[in-house]
Structure formats: C-alpha cells, structure tokens
Amino acid sequence: MNTLKLEVDADGIALVTIDLPGRPMNVLATELIADLGLMLDEVVARVDVRGVVICSGKSNGFIAGGDLKELVEAHDRGWTPQRGVECVWELSSLFRRLETCGKPVAAAMNGLALGGGLELALACHYRVLADDPKAVVGLPEVTIGLLPGAGGTQRLSRLIGIEKALPLILGGDHVKPAVAAKLGIVHALAPLADVVATARRWLLESPDPVQPWDKKGFRVPGGAGCLAPQASQSFMLGTAGVRGRYLDNYPAPKAILSAVFEGTQLPIDRGLAVEAKYFGRLLVDPVARNIMRTTFINRTAANKLVRRPAAVPKSAVRRLGILGAGTMGGGIAYCAASAGIDVVLLDATQENADRGKDYSRRILAKDLERGRTTADKMDALLARIHPVTRYEALDGCDLVIEAVFEDRAIKAGVTAKAEAVIAPDAIFASNTSTLMIGTLAEKSSRPANFIGMHFFSPVDKMPLVEVIVGKQTSDTALARALDLVGQLRKTPIVVNDGPAFYTTRVFCTYVDEGLQMLADGVEPALIENAARNAGMPIGPLAVLDETTQELRWKVILQAQADGLPVQFTHPAGREVLRALVEDHKRLGRRQGGGLYEYPAGAKKHLWPGIAAAFPAGADQPDVEDLKKRLLYVQALEAARCYEQGIVTEAADADLGSVLGVGYPTWTGGTLSFIDTVGIRPFVDECRRLAARWGARFEPSPWLVARAERGERFYPLPA
C-alpha cells in the first residue's frame, strides 16, 4: 500500500494515514482507491482491530477531491456512460463497504476535505474537522461539470436534510468549520493538533458502527418517501435557480436535482445506484471535460509558468515603475503593492498620480470595513505606493509597465524618458490593448527588453495577463515578465505580436457581431438575451458601452491611418458604430450613455433612440442562430490567430478567451469549442453562416484542410 500507512495501536485502533507520494495534496487517484480497498479488507479481517481512524499525512489538508487528469482522460478515451458508471461505482461501492463493515470508522480531517474527500468522510461513522481558518468541506463537483458520484448527493441529503444539502451541492459551496458543525456535516471541531485524538476518543468511548440511514425507521430529513412541503419548495427554488444561473448549457445542476430527488425516495443502496447513473452521463458529456481541462488543468499549468523559458534564472521584481496612474495604472499598482512590491506610480501631474493611489485606498477602506484587512496592513500597503511626476524616481525599478493613453506618440515619449533613467537590463512592458508591440519597440533604445503585458479591467478582479512577445523580445524579458505575473498571482497566457494580439481580436469580433445584428434589424433585447443564453456574461451591446464606442471607433480610425486592414468590423456594423459616435453622440457609458441609458439610482435600460436609429426588421431571427453567430465568430477568430501564429498553444487560446473575454466555460474556450462541435461540422456550419450572414464566417483554406484531416486542437490520447 503505497499511498497509505496502516498502524494498529495497543487499544486496537487502526490509524490509516493517507499520503500520496509525489503529490502536493491527497487526491482520490486510482492507486489510493485500490489501497483503501486493501486497507478495508485488512481491518475487517484483523481481530485485533476494533475501530479505524482515517487521517491525512499532508499538512495542507485531508483530501482535495478526485484526480481531474484521470477524469479528463477518461472522457478523451471515448468512454460510454456505462463505463463512467462502472468507474464511479468502484469508489461508491468501496465507501458503502466501509460504512457497513461492522467496525466503527472515524474521519479525522486536518483541513480541506472536498469532493471525494468529503464523500469518504461522509461514509465514516464519525467526522471531526480541524477548527482552522484554512479548513473547508464541500462538494464542489458542480463547478467542474460533475456531481458528487460516490455518495455525496445521497449521504449529505440524508444527513442534514434535502433543504440544507441541495443548495450546498448545487452551489458547490466551500463550508467553513463553524458552519459545517452547525449544519451537522461534522460531529465535532477540534484544534488542528487534536483531530486524530478526538476521533480516537470517540472510538474508545462511544463508537457506533451503523450509519443513521442504515438504522431502522430512518427517514430523510425534509422528505421521506414523499417530499415534505418545505423540501418540494426547495426543489422548485433549486430548479428556478438552475435555470437562471446555468440555462441549458450546464447539465450538472439538473442531474444533481434528479439524483437527489430520485435517490432520496429509495433505500440508500438504490439511491447510490441512481447517483452513479447520473454521474456516468455527466462524465462523458464534453462540458465536464471542457471545464476541467481549461479552468483547472490548463490554468494550473499556466500558473506554474509552463511557458517560461527555463534557461533564464528566476527573478523577482522588488521595485515596479508604472507610467500612467489611470484606470489600469492604479489597478496594477494595487495588485503589485498587495504582493509586497514597492511601486513608483508616475503620471503627468501630481494630482493624477495621487488619484491613482486613491484607487488602492478606496479598495482597502472597503476591506477594512468588512474586516478583510487591518489598519496596519492597509497602511503598510499604501506606504509601498509612491505617486510621483519626476522620472528620476524610477531609478532602481527592475521593471516598468507603461499604461498611459492609447496613443503612439505619447507612449513613445514616456518610453524614452523612462529608459533614460532605468538600468540597462530593466524590462519595459506596455499595457497597450491594441498597438503592436513591435512598432512601440521601435521607439525603445533596447527592444530586446521590450514586451507587452496586457492586463484586464478591473485589474484587482481579472485574473488574466496576456503577455505579448514582440519580434525582438528576448527570452529574458519573457521570463521576467512571467515571473512578475506569478508574483501578482495572476494567470498568464503567452502570445505573439500582431495587430490587437489575441484577446482583443476575439473580443472585437463579439462586439462587432452585436453591431452587425443591429444593422441586420435584430431587436437589441434579443441580441443581448441570445448572448446570455449562449453563456456570455454580458451582451455585446452592454459590453461595448463599458469599453466605449468612442474607443472602438478611435481604434478603427487609427488602424486605417496606419494602413492596417480594418480587420474586424463588417461594413454595415461599422456604419452602425460610426452613426452612434458621429451622428448620435452615443459614445459609451462613461461619456453619459451608449446603447443603454444609465439613470442615476435606477437600473440601466436600452437607449430609447435605438428603435429610430436602427429599426428592427419585421421578421426576427431564431435565437439559436444568434447564439451560434456570437460563439462561432469568436471561435473562428481564435482559429485565425492560431493559423497566423499569434497563439501557438490551444491552452493559451482557451484560457485567454474564458478568463479575458468571458467566453463560456462550458465550451472550454474558443478552440475547445471547435473540438467539441467537431472540426468538420464546425466548418460546415461556418459555410452555412457565411452564405447567410457574410464572408466573415468563411473558414480559411487552412481550417478546411484541418477539417479534412479531422485534426483536433487537443489531440486524443493514443
């Protein structure tokens, strides 16, 4: 038994310590499941064992859940739902065997117990949890497109009642120790050092080897046999909530409702079988695979800086220069100071620089009010931000991020002034969202040290940084930029240089398709609803108001002036934008209103002038067609970026679209979406859309050739 240790003491208590070798945390990997089975055989067979304590040998918690890599691979190997059922049944029946083994078993949880970790604990007769700020329990499977398939939906509902269990399972909530004890998920809390001793004490003093649901006359709290009125109400609320939050794109919440509803009306053994059936279906659904791969596996890899050139020694920024203390500069300053970095925040006037620092002050004041920080910590963080106007203050900065106006001449001016002060090996990064890094680097005296670091607004909330490598950018600059992203605890993607790089290109196709729909005479409310139905967090018209019509128009004019092809906007959509800006002066939210109006103290609503400015047609298109247009246009742009070598890894394209643009997680991201649809059907559908809506949907010969070869962006395992 490689993954656990079994020791039996003089009192006949078997201490089972789970400790997966070579893993930072315990997960329910195949090897551990096999070892748990062997352990169970042994403790049942040994007459000297009268009770069992299961604990963790890792200091950072009990068990973090299932092995996501194994689950993703299961999907990619083309498993049938039945194979998925068999897979989870192995674990589920092991847990059932554990709770009916005749000997009392206690779980001593020294911290985090999530997913399969909590399911194991729920199959124990007694649970004690560390009363520690880092400890949490929960069944977060819904957040990866699955349900707790090893008894979670059945045991938690039977333990604390459907009404309390259902919201936790549907929300995937992480539950803190005090709440877990109050809800009855755990029997006791104990100081970290005493969890095992507390479990032992229970075994010695008042052991009971029978679960409540295996006792005669057991009834599910809140609904036994038939549902009590409160429980049926919670089902109704659950269903409504599911519809509101997940619409039809996420099958897991519906499956959870079905598993709980059907399973709790049956004896536990049959309930477990019902749960396993729904788990099997979800496991082979691409949604679960997409979510797990992009938001966990690929994101974890990106956070570990897999794209960092390994030969460059590891670095850490101690003093960061920021040029421009506006929306972005102020936000980056806050994140850097939070990470313990000294920040020189430079703007053209002292008033502007101070205003940039005030951004941090405002966030911290709110945190203080909510008890999330202390006055001392707040003061220390603010003391790290130095608002200045003089370039000499940049002396000693290891890295400088430029975030002044999106204007070539202004950017060139501040680059020259900063480079005159900073050390020759300091890195210079631009936060531009649209201007090519190569052309900005032409104004730099050290283009090898010049790189793009594209943050997203609001910087303190948005996890992504798009790192843009120019033609002349060195490996050292890339490694040091990625090291800074790591220090800021953000997730990087690495892309090559080109007009608007990657995320901005994808984002613009989304917004421009919304404008194009207006030009086609689609009702604006229908456009926005279709987008949200597809899973986008915000409709294209509303998001254009946020990023502003004025800026989008300026960028198009700039591209024209630079002789770049105006890539994104279809002529009719462009005309809508021009009319909004020039004729109707609807410049954006910040400028007083755009496609929406923003009355003080009331909810925003669509600008009443829309109907006259862009009359809706008598025939409105099918919402499914609108959803397709919005998702396909972005996926096609991502494929173009891949074809052009702007993105070189599918993982970067997917993470960039999900974390930066809000492309729905159920798709796994833009390129994962193409794989999910299937590249051949995707190309066929693009052709249909092109014939109906315009050439922007026409697949390139490169994509067509890929489709003919059936080539995926994520190759299947051999």
- Positions that interact with ligand NAI (CB under 6 A): 323-329, 347-348, 352, 403-406, 410, 413-414, 431-433, 454-457
Q: Judged by CB, which is closer to ligand NAI: 409, or 695?
A: 409
**Known catalytic residue: 141?**
yes
Between 373 and 503, CB nearer to ligand NAI: 503
Closest contact distance (angstroms) between CB of 548 and ligand NAI is: 9
Name the minimum Å distance from CB 329 to ligand NAI: 6
Q: Shortest gap between Cβ of 504 and ligand NAI (angstroms)?
A: 8
Nearest-approach distance from CB 315 to ligand NAI, in angstroms: 24
Q: What is the largest CA-CA distance in the chain?
A: 88
Query: Please, where are the H alpha helices in 520-585?
Result: 524-534, 540-547, 549-561, 571-578
**What is the C-alpha separation between 188 and 173, in angstroms, rounded?**
20
Catalytic annotation, pick one of 99, 141, 163, 466: 141
| Shortest Cβ 349–ligand NAI spacing (Å) | 7
Active-site residue flag, 262: no
In angstroms, give the least distance from the CB of 401 to ligand NAI: 9
Of residues 15 and 421, the one with the C-beta less far from ligand NAI = 421
Long-range contacts of 575-583 (CB under 8 A, 24+ apart): 575/519, 576/515, 576/516, 576/518, 576/519, 576/614, 577/515, 577/549, 577/552, 577/553, 578/553, 579/613, 580/549, 580/613, 581/549, 581/550, 581/553, 583/613
CB of 555 to ligand NAI, least distance (A): 9
Tokens 């929960």 -> residue:
138
Residue, CB closest to ligand NAI: 326
Provide the 3-class DSSP secondary structure of residue 13. strand
Q: Which residues, at least 6 apart from 519, have a Cβ–Cβ distance to it below 8 Å?
A: 570, 572, 573, 575, 576, 614
Please, which residues have CB within 8 angstroms of residue 702's CB and are 6 or more apart in sequence? Answer: 643
**CB 532 → ligand NAI: shortest distance, Å?**
21
Shortest approach of ligand NAI to residue 437 CB, angstroms?
A: 12
Non-local CB neighbours of 23 within 8 Å, separated by 6+ positions: 29
Residue with tokens 């010049």: 450
Per DSSP, the three-state class of 54 is strand
Q: Would you say 460 or 625 has its CB closer to ligand NAI?
A: 460
> How many CB atoms sit inside 10 A of residue 228's CB?
18
**SS3 state of residue 427:** strand
Q: Radius of gyration (Cα) for the chain, nearest Å?
A: 28
The position carrying tokens 């507390």 is: 198
In whole angstroms, the minimum distance from the beta carbon of 413 to ligand NAI comes to: 6
Q: How many CB atoms lie under 10 A from the CB of residue 396?
A: 14
What type of residue is 152? G
In DSSP notation, 336-400 reads HHHTT-EEEEE-SSHHHHHHHHHHHHHHHHHHHHTTSS-HHHHHHHHHTEEEES-GGGGTT-SEE
| Pairing label, strands 464-469, 491-496 | parallel
**Cα 467 off chain centre by:** 18
CB of 637 to ligand NAI, least distance (A): 18
Dihedral of CA 332/334/335/336: which sign? positive
If the CB atoms of residues 406 and 460 are measured against ligand NAI, the closer one turns out to be 406
CA distance 161 to 178: 18
Comparing CB distances to ligand NAI, the nearer of 455 and 663 is: 455
CA distance 616 to 611: 7
- 707 three-class SS: helix
Q: Which is nearer to ligand NAI, 354 or 625 (CB)?
A: 354
Q: Tokens in use for 32?
A: 């551990």
Pick between residue 135 and residue 414 the one whose CB is nearest to ligand NAI: 414
Q: What is the nearest approach in angstroms of ligand NAI to the Cβ of residue 569?
A: 18
Q: Which is nearer to ligand NAI, 295 or 432 (CB)?
A: 432
- Please provide residue 386's backbone torsions phi and psi, each rounded to the nearest 5 degrees: -110, 100
User: Which of residues 109 and 440 has its CB atom nearest to ligand NAI in the complex?
Assistant: 440
Q: Which of 119, 466, 550, 637 is catalytic?
A: 119
Tokens 């092809």, residue located:
565
Of 410, 393, 446, give the one whose Cα is nearest residue 324: 410
For ligand NAI, give the closer residue by CB, 328 or 610. 328
| CA–CA dist 305, 494 (Å, integer) | 10
Which residues have CB under 8 Å from 494's CB, separation 6+?
307, 467, 469, 478, 482, 648, 649, 652
Please enumerate in sequence order all residues whose Cβ is within 8 A of that of 26, keeping only pairs 6 or more positions apart, or say none: 18, 19, 20, 32, 56, 57, 58, 61, 62, 63, 64, 117
Helix (H) or strand (E) holding 96: helix 81-99
Nearer Cβ to ligand NAI (350/457): 457
The catalytic residue positions are 119, 141
